[in-house]
Structure 1
């Protein structure tokens, strides 16, 4: 399961997924925000016509410049919408890189793992632009993710859980 953001998050995730062994990581499920108008076409451009992937939309947990107070309600809606997606597709791996839409998916996967409904690993790749501090998503996923990967060595000093992988 690959959680796509928008803009730079999409670019980074497409760069990562371009190098995945598509035979090994099949079927792929791409999670896209329901209000994202460009990411689907970018995902389709990187996929072949084999049909070994699915694109699922869930409500965005937080719009750009949305207040933190109102984002509580939209995140709750996004989390509720994530349950059927996670339980239907039963991912073994969740790959995400920072968009807020990954929080509900990762929370549901974490809960499903705790209830022994699925056996999945959550891998969070901090965005390239985060040089000295973690994003809000990164700080939250410190509690959920199985693996935290960073692209700058200074971030390893901020969290002992982080593994430096270099620039992707």
Structure 2
């Protein structure tokens, strides 16, 4: 059983952003595939899962999934983060939560110095991906820190709002449908490897 626990919390983790509901279910599948490809379990070790503070289900889902691939998670494996905007919240009412989420993202990314951030579209991921890009640009984060966005399986012909916002900043944007890949065939960041789900 491989543990993600580390005695030195400054070791560069790999961040995986969990949404809620369908986003988390998809990320469980993606994480399993990722770790199965990492035979010695070292490339993405330690793992840290970013979960919105009001998300009550993602932790148990990812913990169960990771146990199946021999990864034991503990308290250091989870980082609870503020949401920039709740579903259905008006733009006006989300201004201050968004500012707070961005400041929190800048702080946590600078503190942990992650080697990668992997997400699949929940709005929670946007401030953290932008924070990685900002710190890389200002040379406070290694340039080889990667931002990887895997578009949701349900996005067949159009990108999600999160993907549209983050497309200029990511290193890799994986789409899961050939029609979507065709639309962005001239963007070298957009890749289609076939359906992942």
**TM norm. shorter chain > 0.5:** yes
Contact map agreement 1:56 1:85 (CA 8 A) in 2: no
Contact map agreement 2:63 2:73 (CA 8 A) in 1: no
Pick the structure with greater CA Rg. 2
Q: Specify every segment of 5 or more residues in structure 2 that has no aligned partner in the other structure, as ranges.
A: 1-14
Q: Does 1:163 align with 2:191?
A: yes
Moved more, 154-163 or 135-144: 154-163
Shift of 1:52: 9.9
The separation in 1 between residues aligned to 2:164 and 2:26, in whole angstroms, is 19
Contact map agreement 2:17 2:117 (CA 8 A) in 1: yes
Moved more, 17-26 or 127-136: 17-26
Q: Specify every segment of 5 or more residues in structure 1 that has no aligned partner in the other structure, as ranges.
A: none
Instruction: Give the one of 39, 44, 52 matched to 2:63.
Output: 44
The separation in 2 between residues aligned to 1:69 and 1:50, in whole angstroms, is 38
Match of 2:176 in 1: 151
Instruction: Map 1:64-143 onto structure 2 (within 5 A).
Output: 64-119=87-142, 120-143=145-168
* Structure 1 residue ranges (4+ consecutive) displaced by more than 4 angstroms after TM superposition: 50-53
Q: What secondary structure, in the 3-state scheme, does the structure 1 residue paired with 2:194 have?
A: coil
Q: Does 1:56 align with 2:79?
A: yes
TM-score by length of 2: 0.80
The separation in 2 between residues aligned to 1:74 and 1:158, in whole angstroms, is 34
Q: What secondary structure, in the 3-state scheme, does the structure 1 residue paired with 2:93 have?
A: helix
Match of 2:4 in 1: none
The verdict on how the C-alpha distance between 1:18 and 1:41 changes in structure 2, with shifts beyond 3 A counting, is same
Contact map agreement 2:149 2:172 (CA 8 A) in 1: yes
TM-score by length of 1: 0.93
The separation in 1 between residues aligned to 2:193 and 2:75, in whole angstroms, is 28
Q: What secondary structure, in the 3-state scheme, does the structure 1 residue paired with 2:83 have?
A: coil
Match of 1:31 in 2: 50
